[in-house]
Amino acid sequence: MGYHTQSGRVVLVGAGPGAADLLTIRAVRAMSAADVVVHDGLVGDEVMALLPATARRISVAKQRARHSLPQAQIGALLVKEALAGNTVIRLKGGDPFIFGRGGEEVDACVAAGVPVEVIPGISAANGAAAALLLPLTHRDHASTVSFVAGECRGLAQQDWAGLAGKGRTLVIYMGIAGAGPIAEKLMADGLAPDTPVAVVERATQPGQRLVTSLLADLAGLVAREAIRSPALIIVGEVVAGSVARPALAKDIACLAC
Ligand code: SAH
């Protein structure tokens, strides 16, 4: 810190799954001090509206197959703005350290000697679970839960059977485009074709949807229902509990619309 004459800093803020009232108080406080906001595509208008009108906004929105700003450049941008003396708020969907590449941004700040702080956010899985009354662990159904990226390096090598199956809940982020191959891999790794699955689209946001089926039908479900990102896939017996109360789950989905 002492090397710089101005006192800029970077705060990675978890913006949660969408609804602004799911931000932490700490996140809202940090946001109110923003000189510069660097945000990605998952952060919605309701959250952006809480930023000071004076804050300069920079979008680094990424979409599948269209990377508008490479990760290294995002790190360099945060560092540059902080070294210029700004309080830089890096707003990230969900939690910064769950598939948010927050680690790489922290590394960039540390390497440059820029003070950096991380404020946790409600990850999509937690937001979805609460909104849909779908517990991720349950004394009767699951004592372990795994968060997995459906698109990442080394996916094919992963032992999916170790992550899903009896007594286990698997939550797949970024899995919609690859739903078919993911279901096939799970079954090839030994998971029963009739394992319950849920797909949660736009959890906690307007238009939130829950659809359920069985593993063998996952790709069909995604196609029939025209599921769009952002959406999560949840695999395991905990889903059966929510299937047992479909009317309730539907009502909840509509209430959020
Ligand atoms: N850091 C984020 C995840 C970023 S990866 C978090 O903790 O939630 C992006 C993926 O998150 C999306 O492809 C989708 O699978 C999931 N996701 C994010 N917001 C979501 C939402 N509101 N509803 C369902 N899935 C969501």
Domain boundary among 122, 156, 178: 122
- Cα 17 to middle of ligand 1, angstroms: 7
Residue 228 included in any domain: yes
- Cα 44 to middle of ligand 1, angstroms: 12
In the block, residue with structure tokens 């769950």: 98
Domain boundary among 76, 100, 122: 122
Based on the fold, state whether residues 170 and 112 are members of the same structural domain: no
Domain boundary among 75, 106, 122: 122
Pocket test for ligand 1, best of 62, 97, 225, 232 (most atoms within 8 A of CB): 232
Element (H, E) at 188: helix 179-188
Tokens of 88: 């830089």
Each residue of 75-114: pLDDT tens digit? 999 999 999 999 999 999 999 999 989 999 999 999 999 9
Residue 2 included in any domain: no
**Residue 40 bears catalytic tag:** yes
Based on the fold, state whether residues 149 and 233 are members of the same structural domain: yes
In the block, residue with structure tokens 């090839």: 188
Based on the fold, state whether residues 63 and 147 are members of the same structural domain: no
pLDDT score at 231: 97
Based on the fold, state whether residues 89 and 104 are members of the same structural domain: yes
- Cα 174 to middle of ligand 1, angstroms: 7
Q: Say how many domains are in the chain.
A: 2
Based on the fold, state whether residues 207 and 114 are members of the same structural domain: no
Based on the fold, state whether residues 134 and 44 are members of the same structural domain: no
Q: Sign of torsion, CA 67 71 72 78?
A: positive
Based on the fold, state whether residues 129 and 249 are members of the same structural domain: yes
Based on the fold, state whether residues 38 and 78 are members of the same structural domain: yes
Supply the residue whose CA is at minimum distance from atom 2 of ligand 1. Answer: 94
Marked catalytic residue, from 35, 45, 62, 107: 62
Based on the fold, state whether residues 144 and 251 are members of the same structural domain: yes
Residue 3 included in any domain: no
pLDDT score at 242: 65
Pocket around ligand 1: residues whose beta carbon is below 6 Å from it?
17-18, 42, 92-95, 98-100, 123-124, 128, 173-174, 200, 202-205, 229-232
Based on the fold, state whether residues 190 and 168 are members of the same structural domain: yes
Q: Which CATH number covers residue 145?
A: 3.30.950.10
Supply the residue whose CA is at minimum distance from atom 13 of ligand 1. Answer: 174
- Per-10-residue mean pLDDT, the chain, length 257: 68 96 98 96 91 96 64 95 98 96 96 98 97 93 93 74 90 95 93 96 94 97 96 95 53 43
- Cα 157 to middle of ligand 1, angstroms: 23
Going across the sheet that includes 231-235, the strands are 142-149, 167-173, 231-235, 196-201, 209-214
Based on the fold, state whether residues 88 and 131 are members of the same structural domain: no
Bond before 193 cis per omega within 30 degrees: no
**Residue 194 bears catalytic tag:** no
Based on the fold, state whether residues 114 and 212 are members of the same structural domain: no
Boundaries of domain holding 181: 125-256
User: How far does Cα 54 stand from its chain's mean position?
Assistant: 28
User: Which segments of the chain are extended strands (E)?
Assistant: 9-14, 36-39, 56-59, 62-63, 66-67, 87-92, 116-119, 142-149, 167-173, 196-201, 209-214, 231-235
pLDDT score at 160: 82
pLDDT score at 162: 85
pLDDT score at 186: 94
Q: Which CATH number covers residue 47?
A: 3.40.1010.10
Marked catalytic residue, from 21, 35, 40, 251: 40
